[in-house]
């Protein structure tokens, strides 16, 4: 009964902030999820086979399920949901059923305004149910991308580091390799270059290993233009680690980033797109910025946050501007959302 009353209070707050009920499907096409979602969902989904042989799965995530519903049914773009997500976990003590109440703004047209709307609505909901000693942790995946793109290193390394940022263990392995520059192989590079010029003389439409020669040449062309004799790996890794060690009060963030850029001889404006984070000062709340935070969900692209009460995680969310395209949209559809973990309240 207590849980029901808390849920009703939270939902009332959602409605009061303009969010409309959405009820995403519990059962999803397993092949669709596996094909379009990231590695984390492929390993965590609970699947079964229907009588007609089609593979289905229980929704692993209500954000993903809501995005699919939005694309298929064209539901409202400002929604709330109440329901369960089902995921496997390597932790045997973790229940595979997660009860959630969440909100999403799909087709977010004003990043600063909508990021603030989601976080302030979640915060207001938590305060309405009398949670105390509230703290917020924030990070911004986009700041990391801005740093990587500003560093003077081969494009292949930029792509790797950004692609695998959400996998901390593998990311650390990549940094070790970058530091030692272990992937440089002049012989392999010369071989690639020779093949490139040989293949240019062949039929560009011919298929080799599932790809046309023209597609293969595009990849080779990028590798050839990408400088292989890169000797600054150790210096670059030091800068990246220094950035990931930034942990400060939100009020100190702007000065910290400016000092970081100056110390590492970077342009002052490389972190120009963090107004959404600074706008959170208006919440008048205890907020910590942690550069190394929010990397465990692969679809986040911008601001990420968690709300705690007495050191217990109550809610989490973030911006995910690429997810809807990966689920079938013709182009990127900006979006931001968050969910309250009911078992922790």
Q: How far apart are CA 309 and CA 134, in angstroms?
A: 5
Q: Does any domain span residue 179?
A: no
Residue 99 sits in a domain whose CATH number is 3.30.930.10
Domain finish residue from 177, 210, 225:
225
> Is 146 strand, coil or helix?
helix
* Residue 199 within any structural domain of the chain: yes
117 and 46 assigned to the same domain = yes
Give the residue from 168, 203, 225 where a domain finishes.
Answer: 225
| Helix, strand, coil share (%) of the chain residues, nearest 5 | 45, 20, 30
The radius of gyration computed from the CA coordinates of the chain, to the nearest angstrom, equals: 23
Q: How many domains does the chain have?
A: 2
On whether residue 63 sits in a domain, the answer given is yes
Instruction: Indicate if 85 and 15 belong to the same structural domain.
Output: yes
The answer to whether the CB of 139 falls within 8 A of the CB of 294 is: yes
Residue environment code for 14-48, b if the CB has 16+ CB neighbours within 10 A, otherwise e: beebebeebebeeebebeebeebbeebbeebbeee
263 assigned to some structural domain: no
Same domain as 126, residue 190: no
In total, the chain counts a number of residues equal to 345
Contact 305, 118 (CB under 8 A): no
191 and 81 share one domain: no
Q: Is 281 within a domain? A: no
**In the prediction, which pLDDT does 146 show?**
93
Q: Are residues 119 and 208 in the same domain?
A: no
Q: Can you give the pLDDT at residue 225?
A: 55
Residue 303, number of CB atoms within 10 A of its CB: 27
Contacts of 7-12 with CB under 8 Å at 24 or more apart are 7/82, 7/101, 7/342, 9/125, 9/128, 9/129, 10/101, 10/125, 10/128, 10/129, 10/340, 11/80, 11/82, 11/101, 12/128
Domain annotation covers residue 336 = yes
Shared domain check, 218 and 334:
no
101: exposed, middle or buried (C-beta count within 10 Å: 0-12, 13-18, 19+)?
buried
What is the pLDDT, as a whole number, of residue 154? 85
pLDDT at 333: 93
Q: What whole-number distance in Å separates Cα of residue 66 and Cα of residue 50?
A: 23
338 found inside a domain: yes
pLDDT of residue 133: 84
Residues 205, 102 share a domain: no
225, 249, 273 - which closes a domain: 225
Classify residue 153: in a domain, yes or no: no
What pLDDT does 183 receive?
Answer: 61
Q: Specify whether 111 is located in the same domain as 203.
A: no
In the prediction, which pLDDT does 186 show?
A: 46
Residue 85's domain comprises: 2-131+320-344
Q: What is the pLDDT of residue 227?
A: 47
**Could you list the pLDDT tens digit for every one of the 345 residues in the chain?**
467 888 999 999 999 999 999 999 999 888 877 776 666 667 778 888 888 988 998 988 899 899 999 998 866 799 999 998 888 776 665 567 888 899 999 999 899 999 999 999 999 999 888 777 899 999 999 999 999 999 988 888 898 899 899 888 999 999 998 888 766 444 455 566 667 777 777 888 776 655 677 877 776 666 555 544 456 888 999 999 999 999 999 999 999 999 999 999 998 888 887 889 999 999 989 899 999 998 878 889 999 999 998 888 899 999 999 989 888 888 899 999 999 988 887
Does residue 94 share a domain with residue 31?
Answer: yes
User: Taking the model in full, what pTM does it have?
Assistant: 0.80
Looking at the fold, whether 26 and 125 belong to one and the same domain comes out as yes
Measured CA to CA, the distance from residue 324 to residue 34 in angstroms comes to: 15
Alpha-carbon separation of residue 155 from 152, 158, 221 (angstroms):
9, 5, 13
Give the pLDDT score at 19.
Answer: 96
Nearest to 297 by CA among 171, 169, 172, 166: 166
């Amino acid at each position: 009964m207590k849980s029901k009353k808390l849920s009703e209070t939270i939902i009332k707050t959602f409605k009061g902030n303009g969010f409309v009920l959405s009820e995403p499907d519990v059962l999803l096409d397993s092949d669709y999820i596996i094909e379009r979602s990231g590695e984390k969902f492929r390993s965590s989904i609970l699947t079964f086979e229907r009588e007609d042989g089609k593979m289905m799965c229980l929704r692993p995530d209500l954000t993903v399920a809501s995005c699919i519903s939005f694309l298929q049914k064209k539901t409202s773009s400002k929604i709330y949901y109440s329901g369960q997500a089902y995921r496997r976990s390597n932790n045997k003590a973790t229940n595979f059923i997660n009860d959630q109440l969440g909100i999403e703004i799909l087709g977010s047209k004003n990043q600063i305004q909508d990021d603030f709307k989601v976080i302030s609505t979640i915060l207001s909901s938590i305060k309405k149910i009398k949670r105390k000693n509230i703290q917020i942790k924030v990070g911004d995946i986009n700041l990391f991308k801005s740093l990587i793109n500003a560093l003077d290193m081969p494009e292949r390394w930029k792509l790797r580091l950004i692609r695998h940022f959400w996998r901390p263990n593998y990311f650390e392995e990549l940094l070790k390799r970058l530091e030692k520059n272990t992937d440089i192989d002049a012989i392999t590079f010369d071989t690639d270059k020779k093949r490139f010029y040989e293949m240019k003389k062949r039929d560009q439409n011919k298929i080799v290993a599932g790809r046309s020669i023209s597609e293969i040449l595009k990849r080779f062309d990028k590798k050839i233009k990408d400088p292989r004799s890169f000797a600054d790996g150790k210096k670059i890794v030091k800068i990246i680690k220094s950035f990931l060690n930034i942990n400060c009060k939100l009020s100190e963030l702007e000065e910290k980033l400016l000092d970081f850029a100056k110390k590492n001889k970077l342009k002052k404006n490389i972190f120009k797109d963090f107004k959404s984070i600074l706008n959170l000062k208006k919440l008048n709340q205890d907020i910590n910025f942690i550069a190394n935070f929010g990397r465990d969900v692969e679809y986040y692209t911008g601001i990420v946050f968690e709300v705690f009460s007495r050191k217990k995680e109550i809610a989490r969310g973030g911006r995910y501007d690429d997810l809807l395209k990966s689920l079938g949209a013709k182009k990127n559809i900006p979006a931001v959302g968050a969910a309250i973990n009911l078992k922790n309240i």
